[in-house]
C-alpha cells in the first residue's frame, strides 16, 4: 500500500446523460407507473363515455316507450270512436233501408265512405312535427 494520499481517494460517479438504459430497474418501474397512469386515464375516459352512451340509450328507450304508449292510446281511442261511428252509421242505414228512405240511405252511405276513406294517421298531421314534439322534453301530451 502506498502512503500517498491520492491512492485513498474515491471518485464520485458521473451522472449519465440521456435516456436510462432499458436494463435500469428504476427506469422500468417508471415506465410501468407511466403505463398504469395512461391506462387509468384511458379507462376512465372510456368508462365515462360508455356510461354516457348507456344513459342516452336508456333515455331514448324510455322516450320511445312513452311515445308508444301515447300512440297506442291514441289508436285505441280513435279506432273505438271509428267503431262507434260505424256502428251508429250502419244502424241508421238499417233503419233507412227498412223505411225505404233513399235520401237517408244515400247520406248514410256517403258518411260511411267518408269515414272509411279518412285515416287515423292523417289526423296526426305532419309526422315531423310529432317527432319534434317527441324530442321536446317539455311536451305535454293531452289525450
Domain boundaries, the chain: 24-135
Cα dihedral sign, 57-62-65-66: negative
Radius of gyration of the chain (CA): 41
Confidence of residue 141 (pLDDT cuts 50, 70, 90): low
Tell me how far CA of residue 119 lies from CA of 64, 74, 115, 131, in angstroms. Answer: 23, 13, 8, 19
* Least confident residue range of 75-84, 86-95, 100-109: 75-84
Residue 142 is predicted with a pLDDT of 60
**Average pLDDT along the chain:** 78
Q: Structure pTM?
A: 0.47
Residue 95 is predicted with a pLDDT of 93
- Tens of pLDDT along 35-55? 999 999 999 999 999 999 999
Phi and psi based region of residue 45 (left: phi greater than 0; alpha: psi -120 to 50; beta: remaining): alpha
Q: Which three cell numbers stand for residue 116?
A: 272509411
Amino acid at each position: 500500500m502506498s502512503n500517498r494520499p491520492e491512492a485513498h481517494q474515491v471518485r464520485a460517479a458521473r451522472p449519465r446523460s440521456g435516456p436510462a438504459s432499458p436494463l435500469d430497474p428504476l427506469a422500468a418501474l417508471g415506465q410501468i407507473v407511466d403505463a398504469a397512469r395512461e391506462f387509468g386515464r384511458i379507462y376512465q375516459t372510456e368508462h365515462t363515455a360508455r356510461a354516457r352512451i348507456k344513459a342516452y340509450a336508456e333515455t331514448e328507450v324510455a322516450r320511445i316507450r312513452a311515445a308508444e304508449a301515447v300512440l297506442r292510446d291514441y289508436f285505441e281511442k280513435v279506432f273505438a270512436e271509428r267503431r262507434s261511428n260505424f256502428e251508429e252509421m250502419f244502424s241508421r242505414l238499417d233503419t233507412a233501408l227498412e223505411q225505404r228512405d233513399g235520401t237517408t240511405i244515400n247520406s248514410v252511405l256517403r258518411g260511411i265512405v267518408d269515414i272509411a276513406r279518412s285515416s287515423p294517421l292523417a289526423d296526426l298531421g305532419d309526422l315531423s312535427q310529432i317527432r319534434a314534439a317527441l324530442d321536446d322534453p317539455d311536451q305535454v301530451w293531452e289525450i
